[in-house]
A and B are shown apart, each in its own frame.
Chain A
Amino acid sequence: MKIVMCVKETPSTTAEKRFGADMRLERRKEDAIINPFDEYSIEEGLRQQEKHGGETIVLSMGPATATDTIRKALAMGADRGVLVSDPALAGSDAVATARVLAAALQKIGFDLVLFGSAAADAYGGIVPSAVAEFLGLPLLSFATKLDEDGTTAKIERQAEVGYNTVETQTPALVSVMKSINEPRYPSMKGIMQSKKKTIDTMSLADLGIESGTVGAGASGEKALSAEKITTQRKGEIYMGNDGAAERVVAFLVEQKVL
């Protein structure tokens, strides 16, 4: 079975974030991590491989330096990496990103494609469904459990109360929630081995994509300005258990909600 895990390089969640003059998020190399949501799809791919055998491939679109991020996923245990990188891709929106990933997936070939449910920077959560549309395949989205038997993929899908089961035939695309598993830490051996693993690079020309259909110019939306949101909060601290309940009650009464 050929399993492809799509990952995104994002700034660390604790990194200070600001916009550049072009109104794009400034991405600093030293802050770059694997999108935390994607650690769960990488883990799920590795678990499916442990069950069914086959090959695990990490696919990412990003700057040339994103090979470092792919290497981190390889250290967790994936077999090889593919990076789609091209100067014309800068500023691509979610739909353009999906177009590129779909083309790369077709070139790589797959039985199962795994995504995190969203990326921690933009929080769109729309790339997996758009990739599925470009490939003409169903998407099992927001999975909290995945069973795959070679012909059918079945998930438990988070619902308002409890779960639904949803299934489709393979090849299939699945996006996973954080509750699906507990991602492993790379072992020292894994880190050493990752340095010898292959990472192939593909350009837009390799994928047969016109540069005019991606990048900032093809984006359907643009940012005009940004401003800091400041809310004045009272910031009162009450230390200790004694009298705390009374203080809260008095506060609620002051605010006329009790």
Chain B
Amino acid sequence: MANDVWALAEISGGKLASISLQLASKAAELAGTLGGSSAAVALGTNTQAAAADLGACGVQTVYASEGSVYDEYLTQPHVEALAALIQQHQPRLVLFGCTNFGRDVSARLAARLGLGIEYNVGDVAADNGEITMIVPAFGGSQAVTMAFQGEGTRLLGARPNAFATNRVGGTATVESVPAPAAPSNGAKVAGPFGTEGAAEAGHLGKAPDGHDIWMPAASGAKLEEAQIIVSGGRGLGGPQGFAQIEELATALGAGLGASRAAVDAGWVPYAHQVGQTGKTVKPTVYIACGISGAVQHKAGMGTSGLIIAINKDKDAPIFSFWDLGIVGDLNVVVPQLTAAVKQRKGS
């Protein structure tokens, strides 16, 4: 009880998000160190499959609540179910992802139950029964060591990819929990945007040679696990420039990333966004093409093994945290690089 550590899984449309496995792995590890038991909470549809995946990451129990209400309303049903579970079992620590979902749910829980909450956590350790957290601050230039104070369950929001997925093998005991009724005054998910015109929604225009340019298909898992990431920003000038770096990424077998500017411009889906409001990535090599390197972007990629920057502006902030910098024209360098990579792989 007093030293139990839980992870809140993220399930959307019956699909378990990869951060859930990172949280479950860390919950199992921390509970082991603290001498408590570990659990994951799975709310949504297809929770049996989720429970198997979460159990494989070492958690002993999965509280599974099956219900379409979780897909039909934002946040509120999840908070109802989780608040009841926390009050019943009183775990010491509940791990969330610092995602849109995790932020909304944990904030309501903290407000409702009066729980302490820490977010943007990059690392956590338990030592002699004490929990300490490392939180990057000021665009990742400083690491702040934080501790909880006071009594009761504590909530911890972890940055995506802060924890490794550790499939130790194992089967969790599944405890079924009833789903709450639909909230009388809720935020109802009315449906996906652009269903009728879905075929057109991803169409970005025509290239000079007449062929259609489409928004790249999202491949989030690949981005977070990729050894190399090719990432593009505003400096690419438009969807055509983005199509060029997509070709480079394909040639390298790399993940495709983007700055917020490129996502906001509609050149690439949000799933590819790297940075403070997107994903946190740690590839061996990060190739930033036409990305100025604002602190918000750096927060999502600053711990990459090696950073290659290609930018025509040698005064861009990216040229303050780089390993190899090319000051040149992306429209020339990127296609040449794609050709050179293809040639080398072919030989």
User: How many angstroms from the CA of A226 to the CA of B310 in the assembled complex?
Assistant: 33
Residue of A nearest to B337 (CB): A245
B324-A238 in contact (CB<8A) = yes
User: How many angstroms from the CA of A220 to the CA of B201 in the assembled complex?
Assistant: 45
User: How many angstroms from the CA of A236 to the CA of B227 in the assembled complex?
Assistant: 21
A125 contacts the other chain (CB 8 A):
yes
Which chain B residues lie closer than 8 Å to A205 at the CB level? none
Instruction: Return the contact of A126 from the options B110, B138, B140 (Cβ within 8 A).
Output: B110
A124-B120 in contact (CB<8A) = yes
Chain B nearest CB: distance from A169 CB in Å? 7
Within 236-258 of A, Cβ neighbours of B (below 8 Å) are at 236-241, 244-249, 251-253, 255, 257-258
Number of A residues with CB within 8 Å of any CB on chain B: 79
Which chain A residues lie closer than 8 Å to B117 at the CB level? 93-95, 126, 220-221
Within 116-130 of A, Cβ neighbours of B (below 8 Å) are at 117-118, 122-130
Within 122-152 of A, Cβ neighbours of B (below 8 Å) are at 122-130, 132-134, 137-142
How would you classify the secondary structure of chain A's contact residues: helix, strand, loop or mixed? mixed
A237-B327 in contact (CB<8A) = yes
User: How many angstroms from the CA of A168 to the CA of B220 in the assembled complex?
Assistant: 30
B264 contacts the other chain (CB 8 A):
yes
B185-A138 in contact (CB<8A) = yes
Which chain A residues lie closer than 8 Å to B119 at the CB level? 124-126
Which chain A residues lie closer than 8 Å to B263 at the CB level? 179
User: How many angstroms from the CA of A240 to the CA of B336 in the assembled complex?
Assistant: 13
Which chain B residues lie closer than 8 Å to A224 at the CB level? 132, 145-147
Residue of B nearest to A219 (CB): B149
Which chain B residues lie closer than 8 Å to A246 at the CB level? 340
Instruction: Return the contact of B285 from the options A160, A229, A255 (Cβ within 8 A).
Output: A255
Chain B nearest CB: distance from A165 CB in Å? 4
User: How many angstroms from the CA of A34 to the CA of B319 in the assembled complex?
Assistant: 28
B208 contacts the other chain (CB 8 A):
no
Chain B nearest CB: distance from A118 CB in Å? 7
B302 contacts the other chain (CB 8 A):
yes
Query: Can you name 5 extra interface pairs (CB under 8 A) apart from A220-B148, A241-B328?
Result: A123-B276, A161-B270, A178-B260, A238-B324, A251-B308
Contact surface of B with A, Cβ cutoff 8 Å: 74-76, 79, 98, 100, 103-108, 110-112, 114-120, 132, 136-138, 140-150, 154, 157, 183, 185-194, 201, 218, 220, 227-228, 252, 260, 263-264, 269-271, 276-277, 284-285, 287, 295, 302-303, 305-308, 310, 314, 319, 321-329, 332-333, 336-337, 339-341, 344-345
